[in-house]
Structure 1
Amino acid sequence: MSATPQRRGAAASASGVPGNGSGAPGRNFGEEGGRLTYGAYLRLPTLLDQQVLESDPPARDELLFISIHQVYELWFKLLLHELGEIRRAMTDDEVWLARHLFRRVHAVERILVDQIQVLETMTPQDFMAFREKLAPASGFQSVQFREMEFLSGHKDPGFLKRFRGLTDDEKERLDRRLAEPSLWDAFVMLLRRRGLAAGNDDEISESLVTVAHDRNGHDDLWQLAEDLMTHDEMAALWRQRHVTMVERQIGTKSGTGGSTGAPYLRSRLDLRYYPLLWELRTLL
């Protein structure tokens, strides 16, 4: 009857771990749990205290609206971190790492698109019950979203003039994103370090054709270019789903931030971060 405990003790002694199962000598995760809890690690009391409704009496779907958009901002924070790491990896010639992180980025971007269907469970009537409380706030004012666009390669200084209520910190962040290299800049610099001409758009296009036709010599560059394309495509899919959702909710009403609403969003549907990669398809 004592064979099983003896075997456990022998295995623990052989591994140098006194039977704690943690894989680290002298540690017991069961006891350490008393020092740091799940809620404390994730700052859950603070996080879950941030869904403050503006409507009075509380509108039924305002919690849904706030939660969805706060979750978006959390995903944006992660994407900014990963895209920054991708840029650094390209600069350091770590193409394998850039490609690995792009897989994570693409997975998150698919969630961003799918998440819209949760918001679409809110009826127009339920949205109108609290929509007037949003003005003049608007998704147009998402600083992190603009940071992602600037980092991806779509740099429009005019957005800074159209933003309302920017803090000094937010303006500094956007100015920095405008001044620093984009993902496309890092990719072009990588082409040059590989001995490919990339002085202007025509040279870049010719080099992209070379990369496409020489997969034996440039497959990592081709695959990285495809990752950039997927990032661009996922952004386009999100814009398409977003404008459709807005039209389903408010039709052609003006946005709460003063924009034209859906017509403005539709004007951005043809935006491309990397037009030369899209044009490459015609050249092949």
Structure 2
Amino acid sequence: MLIDGLDLAAIIIHQASELWIKLCLHELEAARTAIIDDRLPVAFKMMSRVARVQQQLIQSWETLATITPADYTAMRDQLGGSSGFQSVQYRLLEYIMGNKNTGMLAAHQGSPDAQGALTEALWRTSLYDEALRLLARRGFAIPADQLERDWRHPYVASTEVETAWRQVYADANTHWDLYELAEKLVDLEYRVQIWRFGHLKTIERIIGFKRGTGGTAGVPYLAKVIDQVFFPELLTVRTTL
């Protein structure tokens, strides 16, 4: 009964997480459209809702962390090669946040629909791309190559973009909606990082430094993922304020 209960818990958490991520995608796609249309209050409401959903996802690790090494060993064969890599929705979430990685398409070679959705998402702008375009429309000096580029590739930080954000933060009263946009983005990134850290510590607690079910290095791989950032200048600008 113990093993059956653990299996059920893992299934429930996986299914619930996929539903929560689906809601996050819906809200972030709508928020991106609102930023494009310069309707920032609408975008803020959606981004705030995503932050609440992220809290639910973060909390889910508390249940999975009750699995002991002995429990995991007993249920390991039932997992097969299943992995978080198989979640198309999670990859779409990473893409709209700006973590573009064409290499992840290989994990979905057997699913044309999944590859099609991911390829389409790769070509679209991220939330941050549209935030920078908005800064440019408001008169800030954003480099042209940050406004029109190959969206399939990860964003590369720019000193000019950091300068623009510094101007926003230095005069928040004048640029209040842009300041709030920046803080909403930072909040999203903060919660993603907390989720990633919870993932790392839960896996470390259960399997130590064994390889992951999807063939990754496990904990060392997850540690590298934590170093990935979505909105770099919104973090580095804090050092110069």
TM-score, normalised with respect to structure 2:
0.90
Is residue 101 of structure 1 aligned with residue 77 of structure 2?
Answer: no
Is residue 279 of structure 1 aligned with residue 236 of structure 2?
Answer: yes
Match of 2:221 among 253, 256, 264: 264
Match of 2:29 among 64, 67, 84: 84
Q: CA RMSD in A?
A: 1.6
Is residue 205 of structure 1 aligned with residue 162 of structure 2?
Answer: yes
Separation in 2, partners of 1:206, 1:266:
30
Aligned length: 228
Correspondence for 1:6: none
Is residue 126 of structure 1 aligned with residue 68 of structure 2?
Answer: no
Separation in 2, partners of 1:185, 1:283:
22
Correspondence for 2:122: 178
Separation in 2, partners of 1:248, 1:216:
46
Is residue 193 of structure 1 aligned with residue 137 of structure 2?
Answer: yes
Task: Give the superposition deviation at 1:58.
Answer: 6.6
Task: Give the superposition deviation at 1:127.
Answer: 2.3
Residue type of the alignment partner of 1:62: D
* Runs of 4+ with deviation above 4 angstroms: none
Separation in 2, partners of 1:216, 1:226:
14
Percent of matched pairs sharing the same residue: 39
Task: Give the superposition deviation at 1:165.
Answer: 5.0
Task: Give the superposition deviation at 1:100.
Answer: 1.0
Separation in 2, partners of 1:79, 1:171:
20
Asked which structure has the greater RCO (Cα within 8 Å, sep 6+), the reply is 2
Residue type of the alignment partner of 2:210: K
Structure having the larger proportion of residues in helix: 2
Separation in 2, partners of 1:60, 1:227:
38
Is residue 160 of structure 1 aligned with residue 117 of structure 2?
Answer: no
Residue type of the alignment partner of 1:192: A
Is residue 115 of structure 1 aligned with residue 60 of structure 2?
Answer: yes
Separation in 2, partners of 1:260, 1:278:
28
Whether contact under 8 Å (1:229, 1:277) holds in the other structure is yes
* 3-state DSSP of counterpart to 2:175: helix
Whether contact under 8 Å (1:59, 1:129) holds in the other structure is no
Separation in 2, partners of 1:71, 1:60:
16
* 3-state DSSP of counterpart to 1:271: coil
Whether contact under 8 Å (1:60, 1:126) holds in the other structure is no
Correspondence for 2:174: 217
Task: Give the superposition deviation at 1:126.
Answer: 1.9
Moved more, 121-130 or 240-249: 121-130
* 3-state DSSP of counterpart to 2:222: helix
Separation in 2, partners of 1:165, 1:179:
18
Task: Give the superposition deviation at 1:131.
Answer: 1.5
Whether contact under 8 Å (1:243, 1:262) holds in the other structure is yes
TM-score, normalised with respect to structure 1:
0.77
Residue type of the alignment partner of 2:175: H
